[in-house]
Chains A and B, each alone.
Chain A
Amino acid sequence: MTTTTDAVVGYDDAIARFDPVMGLEVHVELNTATKMFCGCATVFGAEPNTHVCPVCLGLPGALPVVNRTAVESAIRIGLALNCSIADWCRFARKNYFYPDMPKNFQTSQYDEPIAFEGYLDVELDDGSTYRVDIERAHMEEDTGKSLHVGGATGRIQGAEYSLVDFNRAGIPLIEIVTKPLTGAGERAPEVARAYVSALRDLVKALGVSDVRMEQGSMRCDANVSLRAKAGDGGDQNAVPLGTRTETKNVNSLRSVERAIHYEICRHAAVLDSGASILQETRHWHEDTGATTSGRPKSDADDYRYFPEPDLVPVAPAAELVEQLRESLPEPPAKRRKRLQADWGYSDLEMRDVINAGAIDLIEQTVANGATAAGARKWWTGELARRANNEGKALEDFGVTTADIAALDGMVRDGRLNDSMARQVLDGVLAGEGRPTQVADARGLELVQDDGALEAAVDKVIAGNEAVADKVRAGKLNAAGALIGQVMKELKGQADAAKAREMILAKLT
């Protein structure tokens, strides 16, 4: 393993002289109840080796049986990616030895994928569209998970010993492979991120996977190569592709962008030095923002594929495919446009919502009775901030969309002000109950009694004559100090707007 730092050239410099070409392979773990070829449960985070059986442990004599739901999910993904669906296809064995592969072959698909020849239109930051051509989507099984103990790198080389958890072995995967993505130029890293993001949204909308990159239920391998730029008037597509490297297991959207950015700079440096790119797999390091050399990989890598004789061919009936096509949800991009119009968000607001991953949450919150503006404020503001601080996903944050709708309603009804609503949220998160219960129990309620408010206002004006005079002289901003005093007087439970109104009425 290489530990030395590779030379890189500046990104703009690299892009000025080279044309980057990418190929993205995304693995999506399906959320079927059982594994691809056996009846074991697909549970994330269970005790190691508790969801295993003779089939997924590769015991002698065990045989696979295809999970129908997984095939349907694969077809739905294929259809959503505008692919053709094979009317007859087979599984194939991909033969190679590795300790976390129970059979030392992976049951996959080779030259007969379930879905092929599709595309996904991806929206970039400036609103333009890039069409990603999809070569294929095929079904396969996941491997076990190795834990290499000891040694500096957490990799098998140099480890004291390794542990293998076969709970993951046999979990259904769909591998989605793009054609070489050309023409993105300097925007290549952005295109890659936008594609993986769009794919994630699409798969999520289909409901066939949790697509949690941080949990590994969606993983991206990024192939990058550089080729010389065609001269003026030259046909860039006529320039042959350069040698590629494959950066494995890039596990966040940001990393996809960064890893490709890095590889472009590194390739350029290698090519500048007159050396040639070594065809190999590379590992992405989030902390250093760099890749390191993995194992050499060449086209001569020989997996000795042959059709899996233990399985019968998969031949989905045309009616089934049509049925699945009709069951497809609204495409995410289209849905986003519809919701933005419904909610009346600006482009900037909508982008915030998308980046926060809050569309579904806002939709549900609005469905639960919140205003669109209120829901957005909560999810992209207070909640996003808290989730971020705790390193949690928004949906895992422990507050329901009904709670947020209730909070929003209480603020709208004038029962709570914003700071009180935040206190109620604290109570909800602390398990004190639903928002109304928390507000009741904590005695949080705006003072609705105008008499009490008026008394407080009078008292504050009387005690702050100098400030009151400024307001009387037309310096309306000075009223702020008086409002603050009123709030203090009423222990924060006053309606600030009403207090202001009353102060101004009395002084002007």
Chain B
Amino acid sequence: MGDRSMSDSELGALDAERLGSADVRQRRRNALTGALFAAPALLFVTSFLLYPVAMNVWYSFTAWRKFEGLGEWAGLANYQRLATNPNFEAAAINTGIWVIASLVLPVALALALAVLLNGARFSDTAKTLFFLPRVLAPTAAGVIWYYVYAPNGVLNGFLSLFVGPVDRGWLFEDSTITPAIIVAFVWQTVGLPMVLLLIGLAAIPRDPIEAAQIDGATPGQVFLHVTLPLLLPTILVVVIISVLAGFTAFDHIWVMAQSFPGKRRLSLTVLMYYEAFTNNAWAFASAIAVVLGGIVLAVTWLQAVLQERVDRMLK
């Protein structure tokens, strides 16, 4: 036929079915391969995550106590108890404080550190230093800070240098225990958000920043109008990680509040542990877990929505 191409009518006469069939076959093959690859992970997630979660939800509607068998269906009784349990309200409020604190403090601190360290001379050493606490087990960090806050501990000793003898029990007073533990928690966890933000900062192209400088922007304006928006995806990830960490904080509280009588009021996670393993009220503890899980799920969903919006904004 020489060098000529097909005319439109010739193209139209081709069997449409057969034109698409190659793609369909290809897609089918891909789907099968994909399923095979995903199978082990799927099996793992189902048996160790989805199944326990489902069981947990089921338990929360029963009257199960540890040594009394599953008991009968209790309907919403456990959830009604949540509303009337004074410890639940206190724990929920404290968890709220945790979430807000771990949203604001690590993110702000990590952002400040990241901006300061980005391109600074001793930034590698400083980065390592700030990341170091992260490699400790949370319980170990908790023990260290337990002694910092002890009545004869480092903090009181330090304060005594300035204001005369201090012997406060930071971990024994309602008003100071949560802030004190949060400080320890932030000290240990700020490293990861900082490293993530540093990576994000390093990935921001130089060009738009230089363009903004020439466009007349002061360093503050460059940061506000160019750097920060371009860093938004990373900030979002960091915020979500921090918020979820705040909701699920447990180890630090558990270790540092070991001698505090009202510790089950310190967070929902501690209350849940207390109800399950000290009070043996497993069904009630399951209900707390369901509430906590629901909130975490909602936060994750919110993150997905925001992430998409940010992506669209930067696209």
B and A form one assembly = no
